[in-house]
Amino acid sequence: MRRKFLLGATAAGVLTLAACGNGGLYGSGSAQSSSSSAAPAPAGAASAAALTASNSSLGTLVIDAKGRTVYAFDDDTVGSATSACTGGCAGLWPAVTTTSSSPTVTGLTGAIGTAPAPGGGQQITLDGHRLYTYAGDSGSGQVKGQGFMNIWWVVSPAGQEVRQAASSGSSSAAMSSSSPGYGY
């Protein structure tokens, strides 16, 4: 019984990873339009998400109101009205969403905007990059998604992708912030 569970979990993990890679189940890297059958916005999506600059082992990064690291996806087209992360990808990489046309930010220098989110609502953008969190980051300040499949990157306050590799200890390293609750 345990062997069947492990095989099933492994197969599900491979399919999920394939959904988020270049040429995976959802295209070859071009932005795709969302349809009316797109998955709904993830549970717990912020109604007026706040973004903050925070120090980490990778430099100063952007985090959401819950202290989760924010990422950009290479397969998205900067400034596009559609996200390339749909289906299984959206489950692993939830969009940072808002209901506000002017999301609250602290310490960011890049242009803040919004774009239609898959499943409805508005996804926050920073300097044209759609923003996501990573389901594999189980706590605030983690950067386990950094460099994932060489297409997911943490984001600087200016909206630039930080392409530096995370050190082995940085995947669970705490980030510090002037706001309470963002560090360990």
pLDDT of residue 92: 97
> Which of 8, 19, 11 is CA-nearest to residue 91?
19
- pTM tops 0.75, yes or no: no
pLDDT of residue 20: 52
List the pLDDT tens digit at each of the 184 positions of the chain: 444 434 344 334 433 444 455 443 333 333 322 222 233 334 444 444 489 999 998 999 999 999 999 999 999 999 999 999 999 999 999 999 998 888 999 999 999 999 999 878 899 999 999 999 999 998 888 999 999 999 999 999 999 999 988 765 444 333 333 333 323 2
pLDDT of residue 99: 85
Residue 110 phi, psi (nearest 5): -75, 160
Beta strands in 43-102 (DSSP E): 50-56, 59-63, 71-73, 97-98
pLDDT of residue 57: 86
pLDDT of residue 78: 93
CA distances from 84 to 24, 79, 81, 164, 168 (A): 11, 12, 10, 23, 29
Domain limits, the chain: 2-172
| Contact (CB, 8 A) for 171 and 179 | no
